[in-house]
Structure 1
Amino acid sequence: MTEQAETPTNTIHPSVTKEKTINVEASVKAGRLLFNKLGQPQRVVAPMVDGSELGWRLISRRYGAQLCYSPMLHSRLFSQDKKFRDQFLCEMDGHPELDRPLIIQFCANDPDVLLEAAKHVVGKCDAVDINFGCPQGIAKKGHYGSFLMEEWDLVYNLINKLATELGDQLPVTAKIRVFDDWSKSLEYAKLCLNAGAKFLTIHGRTREMKGQRTGLANWKLVKYLRENLPEGTVFISNGNILYPDDIERCIEDIGCDAVMSAEANLSNPGVFWTKSNDKEKLFPRVDRFMREYFDIVKSCKGTESKRCMKTHMFKALKTFLPHHTDVRAEIAKLTKNSSFEEIEKVIVMMENIVEDIFKKENIEELDKINIGEKQEWGGRYREVPYWRLQPFFRKVDGIEGKDLVKGALEEIAEKTKQQEALLERKKRKLQENEDDHHTKLHKVST
């Protein structure tokens, strides 16, 4: 492995042109105070385009989510277009008694435009987050998200602009991905804190890990970052969550303050349920859950919750629909202009199907949740009846998701071994340089 140049560990990256200097110790302390004020939330709904809008946040909160992020909003459109703002945020979004704590996320590549966008949400949320993690092609084309990872001056100035201009009025946080190089990842994370980020969310995957190449997040790398960032940093981990006990395991293994979930939450908001072993909360029946979600969406003002409902139905019902293709066909017919009456017909179809299933004499046996043996990755798979919400394991090149884990673990182990060896060499080199320096000083003094 080629050894990469190390960047300074206690300074801002040399390429960064600073806007305004932040007292990092005070900023980290302010972040901790904010985290405490929000109730020290441990279970976090990730920012998801067409995924974390008001209706889904509300149902997720019922199933244990303690902090929610909005979908990513385009800062330029949001700052310039009132119609765009009204489409994505209504009077119920961020309501103190309904939708808090809430962090609104923006993508951006211009600090001044980002500031103008953020000013519009003062009082409607608890903080704003900047998206430095999106790996999709649209982010590359739009020059935002993870495609700013090499532009450290811009990353710094985006965070710093909000931190210095809005201060405690509207704190700023950051969500980032990692580099294969652990040292570079650490310096990148430190840069965000130096710029004024109050929380730091680390997605333990690189920019290239997406779609068919998603793989596993590297918890060892994430733990390394956690252990080497300033004490007191509010640290949120994102990646590798399937079940509620994975959240507890992540907090214990990494030492993070909170755990964020995206895909697992979309498949089953019960991933956040840790209060009890209630099967109806951990793996809710599809018919009851969809009825509950439908009623929430009907109560939401604005158009976004209704518009996104079809997408959520497909994602949450991925294990149910292959068994009932007639339901899938009816969902496919729905559009953003479909009436609630048309949507409810699909809900009733599901209710009738599941009601018939529960009329079977051996339903108690059929409806059992079986917990598997502990796996190499540290958790346990569950066998869940298809009529209950559960994680979905995507196939890659025809191979089942569960079967891909072994190869992913081996890849992580090899990369971890390489990086640990590299860090050890750098540590020895620094020690040798320090020893040489002391020797020279001693010779001069004598």
Structure 2
Amino acid sequence: MPKLQGFEFWKTTLQEARYVVAPMVDQSELAWRLLCRRHGAQLCYTPMFHAQVFVRDANYRRENLYAEVCPEDRPLITQFCANDPEVFVQAGLLAQDHCDAIDLNLGCPQMIAKRGHYGVFLQDEWELLEKMVKLAHEKLSVPVTCKIRVFQDVERTVRFAQMLEKAGCQLLTVHGRTKDQKGAFTGMADWEHIKAVRKAVSIPVFANGNIHHLTDVEQCIQETGVHGVMSAEGNLHNPALFEGSSPPVWEMAEEYLEVVQQHPPCTLSFVRAHLFKLWHHTLQIHQDLREELAKVKSLEGLSEVSRQLRLRCQEEIAKEKEGAEERPRGDLPFPHWMCQPYVRPPPKVLVPNGQSQGSEETKTESHKRALEDSDGTPDSLSKNKQKKKARNPHKTFCLELKPKYMKCEQCGNPKGSKCVFDLCRACCKKKAYKEVADCPSHGLRFKTKADRQRVEEERAGAIGDQEPPDGSQGLPETHNTEQEVH
């Protein structure tokens, strides 16, 4: 059967999916996908997998994809990050029998993507990307799709999308933010870029960005003309987003924990992260349970914290019904115990917009947290360092107070304090191997292993010299081979 392409693929295989759960690292695992499908999601992506690791590590493949194969979890698209055409194709070949399409991540803007040279940091290497998509389109039995971020220039974004379509991309997801729009710089996604891409290509297009409610989905489809809408952050705070409802948080939390128990194994850190997202607004009030949620180390412990949060919320509801004073909602549209998105507050920096009337507009700008004071006082430390300080009160982060380390003569890294060569472990290993020497400090035993092997070889040689030529040594004179058989 020939491979379906473009709109035929979207209509037949993806069943004209409009409501899409985004690929989210460590967050769009099987249990979460099944929960979202129960509440309106029509298509899900796996978390982003690293193509090179997927190819070389059988355990990685089994734990992240093969062990999560489920008949109810279709249609499903598997996403990879990659920067090598051959590796991307090999990963796709290993995954294609367990999904409906292979997606190339060209939108991840995080620092790890920059260091690994993948995601959005490939968006200027059009020749490489064209080769990757084209080769995968030719070799794989399932369609190839791509997820991209936009450029500042609309025309360049359009040409980028057209290049990917020409190379063989059968479906394109456009995140309406640029490479630099992340963290405090996130800002609003630009649907005009998405609209321009939709008009310029002849393959299905999904939109991503600014999706917090079902009304946002309908508005995005109406304004851009896309064929589907993808949600990530909004979906994490409300897995019933595509149903158009905002249920009590504990209903979603309990249902998710139930799915986790039905489809083990599920990494505990994934479950914890989902509960933090679901209970986000409530945890701002009940800080003690926030700390407890971070500490527990079992699924039962996470369930118990969620149960306590539910009881506290129900107590508040009961008090409100009795006529007690209602708790202020702040900027939230619903009470904190209802599923609802977390919207990052806009930066409060006003700059002139250049108009002659001198009006002002809000500009997306962020200020980094000031560096810690040299004395390393708790108030000046980051949250992560404060946690380390709580575990070890004697720990210091002051560079002047930290012990000075002697440097390795060969590479400049800190050397081992008891190394026989006064080197770091990497350099010591090379030298010990070359000279067949030991270094107890670094646990290297090249000389010991060589001596042991020499002794075993000498012992084996001595035993061989003692054997008679006919090889009959060790057989008693009255040996009965017939009894041996029986």
TM-score interval, normalised by the smaller of the two chains:
0.7 to 0.9
Alignment match, 1:258: 228
Alignment match, 2:179: 207
Alignment match, 1:351: 310
Q: In the aligned structure 2, how far is the partner of 1:356 from the partner of 1:75?
A: 49
Higher relative contact order (CA 8 A, sep 6+): 1
Alignment match, 2:130: 156
- Structure 2 residue 104 is the aligned partner of structure 1 residue 145: no
Q: In the aligned structure 2, how far is the partner of 1:170 from the partner of 1:235?
A: 18
Instruction: Output the amino acid matched with 1:30.
Output: Q
Instruction: Output the amino acid matched with 2:194.
Output: V
Instruction: Output the amino acid matched with 2:312.
Output: I
2:319 is aligned, of 352, 355, 360, to: 360
Shift in alpha-carbon separation, 1:71–1:78, aligned structure 2, 3 A: same
Shift in alpha-carbon separation, 1:141–1:260, aligned structure 2, 3 A: same
Give the secondary structure class of the aligned counterpart of 1:69: strand
Q: In the aligned structure 2, how far is the partner of 1:302 from the partner of 1:294?
A: 12
Q: Which has the larger radius of gyration?
A: 2
8 Å CA contact 1:215, 1:408 repeated in 2: no
Residues 302-349 of structure 1 show CA distances to partners (whole Å, capped at 9, x for unaligned) of 333x43011111122221101111221111103xxx332222211221
- Structure 2 residue 370 is the aligned partner of structure 1 residue 407: no
Q: In the aligned structure 1, how far is the partner of 2:274 from the partner of 2:262?
A: 17
Q: In the aligned structure 1, how far is the partner of 2:324 from the partner of 2:20?
A: 33
289-298 or 84-93, larger mean C-alpha shift: 84-93
8 Å CA contact 2:143, 2:170 repeated in 1: yes
Q: In the aligned structure 2, how far is the partner of 1:199 from the partner of 1:364?
A: 54
- Structure 2 residue 192 is the aligned partner of structure 1 residue 220: yes
Shift in alpha-carbon separation, 1:162–1:239, aligned structure 2, 3 A: same
What TM-score, normalized to structure 1?
0.74
Instruction: Output the amino acid matched with 1:342.
Output: G
**Superposition RMSD on alpha carbons, in Å?**
2.4
Q: In the aligned structure 2, how far is the partner of 1:117 from the partner of 1:144?
A: 15
Shift in alpha-carbon separation, 1:346–1:48, aligned structure 2, 3 A: same
8 Å CA contact 1:286, 1:350 repeated in 2: no
1:189 deviation in Å? 0.1
What TM-score, normalized to structure 2?
0.68
Alignment match, 1:36: 11
1:398 deviation in Å? 6.8
Q: In the aligned structure 1, how far is the partner of 2:62 from the partner of 2:346?
A: 39
Q: What is the correspondence of 1:398-437 to structure 2 with a 5 Å cutoff?
A: 407=362
Instruction: Output the amino acid matched with 1:385.
Output: P
Q: In the aligned structure 1, how far is the partner of 2:194 from the partner of 2:322?
A: 43
Identical amino acids, percent of aligned pairs: 39
Shift in alpha-carbon separation, 1:297–1:398, aligned structure 2, 3 A: farther
- Structure 2 residue 289 is the aligned partner of structure 1 residue 327: yes
8 Å CA contact 1:115, 1:162 repeated in 2: yes
Give the secondary structure class of the aligned counterpart of 2:20: strand
Instruction: Output the amino acid matched with 2:338.
Output: R
- Structure 2 residue 244 is the aligned partner of structure 1 residue 285: no
Alignment match, 1:268: 238
Q: What is the correspondence of 1:370-389 to structure 2 with a 5 Å cutoff?
A: 383-389=333-339
Give the secondary structure class of the aligned counterpart of 2:97: coil
Alignment match, 2:91: 117
Q: In the aligned structure 2, how far is the partner of 1:222 from the partner of 1:322?
A: 35
Q: In the aligned structure 1, how far is the partner of 2:128 from the partner of 2:52?
A: 16
Instruction: Output the amino acid matched with 2:362.
Output: G
Shift in alpha-carbon separation, 1:140–1:359, aligned structure 2, 3 A: same
Alignment match, 1:196: 168
Q: In the aligned structure 1, how far is the partner of 2:246 from the partner of 2:363?
A: 27
Q: In the aligned structure 1, how far is the partner of 2:324 from the partner of 2:181?
A: 39
Alignment match, 1:376: none
Shift in alpha-carbon separation, 1:398–1:270, aligned structure 2, 3 A: farther
Instruction: Output the amino acid matched with 1:32.
Output: F
- Structure 2 residue 84 is the aligned partner of structure 1 residue 84: no
Alignment match, 1:9: none
8 Å CA contact 1:268, 1:390 repeated in 2: yes
Q: Would you say how many aligned residue pairs link Structure 1 and Structure 2?
A: 349
2:207 is aligned, of 215, 229, 237, to: 237
2:274 is aligned, of 298, 306, 312, to: 312
Instruction: Output the amino acid matched with 1:60.
Output: C
Q: In the aligned structure 2, how far is the partner of 1:69 from the partner of 1:119?
A: 17
Alignment match, 1:295: 258
Give the secondary structure class of the aligned counterpart of 1:34: helix
Shift in alpha-carbon separation, 1:112–1:365, aligned structure 2, 3 A: farther
72-81 or 309-318, larger mean C-alpha shift: 309-318
Give the secondary structure class of the aligned counterpart of 2:102: strand
Unaligned runs of 5+ in 2: 350-360, 365-486
8 Å CA contact 1:108, 1:144 repeated in 2: yes
Residues 119-139 of structure 1 show CA distances to partners (whole Å, capped at 9, x for unaligned) of 111221110100000011111
70-79 or 381-390, larger mean C-alpha shift: 381-390
Alignment match, 1:75: 51
Shift in alpha-carbon separation, 1:364–1:216, aligned structure 2, 3 A: farther
- More helix, by proportion: 1
Residues 66-99 of structure 1 show CA distances to partners (whole Å, capped at 9, x for unaligned) of 1111110000000100111122124333x22x21
Q: In the aligned structure 2, how far is the partner of 1:408 from the partner of 1:46?
A: 28
1:214 deviation in Å? 0.6
Q: In the aligned structure 2, how far is the partner of 1:50 from the partner of 1:42?
A: 23
